Amino acid sequence: MDDHSDDIATTPGVPRYVALLLLALAIGAGALAIFFAAEAAEAAADADLLKDGVDRSRLSREEAVAIARLALERSTPVPESELADHDHDHGSGPARELTPAEQELFDEQWAAATDSVPKFDTIAEVEAAGYVLASGNSDGAGVHYVKWSIVDRPFDPAEPSMLLFEELKRGEEMELIAYSYWVSSDGPPDGFVGEEDSWHRHLGVCFVNGYIKDEHVLREQCPGDWINGMDLWMLHAWVVPGLENDYGRFHNVNPLLCERACGLED
């Protein structure tokens, strides 16, 4: 194959460094053209996603695209035998003791989670980071704020895709009470080291304008974004200092926040 750079470099009157610079500029221009073409194609695909007539006006464009893509990629019907299955065990405790090496790694993961809590001190900070209110208040678990664009990412203890808030003092602003991870995986994810973190799924979930409306419903019963949830796994983690959970650090509800004995009867 001919070496075109040599051809340019040996052209009379053109120094080799100039020829190499021109070649580098040409390669750079080509790479930029490919990049911008890919960006334009992605933007067009995103725009097409949002032409389905579903109202997502509460969400930023990025988050609207993210939930639309989640719904599109998870539109397969849930088998009837699984539709009523909540896959909930409440994280009652570890099945076995961790080895010293495992305990060290778990402690590092837990520290990463608790160290990131100050980023989410207020709802204003959370909303500025792209999280949007997605549920009403549930006894023992507060309200849920979701960042749809990171739901599909691998588990990261410091980057939860969902944050739980509750009014800890009546009449005052809601405060962060826990993290909730919601990640894509064929089976229960490799999250925190050990077996204490008990993941569960929500199947046949209907979101209207980014806000949960129903669960365990068929796609045709949902006027918004319907997500089958079969490969989406959720885990609550009570990482906020001062709100440790007596039921277990990964239990779905916290008795400190319950107006009744919630969670144990499920």
For residue 128 the two structure tokens come to 């500025």
- Other CB atoms closer than 10 Å to residue 127's CB: what's the count? 13
CA-based max dimension of the chain: 89
pLDDT at residue 222 is higher than 70 = yes
Integer Cα distance of 211 and 179 in angstroms: 18
Q: Give the pLDDT confidence score for residue 92 in this predicted structure.
A: 46
pLDDT at residue 8 is higher than 50 = no
pLDDT at residue 88 is higher than 70 = no
| Domains of the chain by residue range | 4-49, 61-257
pLDDT at residue 44 is higher than 70 = no
Listed in sequence order, the residues at least 6 apart from 60 whose beta carbon sits closer than 8 Å to its beta carbon are: 130, 132
pLDDT at residue 75 is higher than 60 = yes
Q: What is the mean pLDDT of residues 171-185?
A: 93
- DSSP result, 167-187: -SSTTSPPEEEEEEEEEE-SS
Instruction: Give which of 231, 148, 158 is closest to 188, Cα–Cα.
Output: 231
Name the band, by pLDDT with cuts 50, 70 and 90, for residue 226.
Answer: very high
User: 175-184 and 225-227: which strand pairing?
Assistant: unpaired
User: 211-214 and 225-227: which strand pairing?
Assistant: unpaired
Integer Cα distance of 161 and 200 in angstroms: 15
For residue 110 the two structure tokens come to 């837990």
Q: What is the pLDDT of residues 186-203, one digit of tens each?
A: 999 999 999 899 899 999
Whole-Å CA distances, 202 to 38, 159, 225: 34, 20, 14
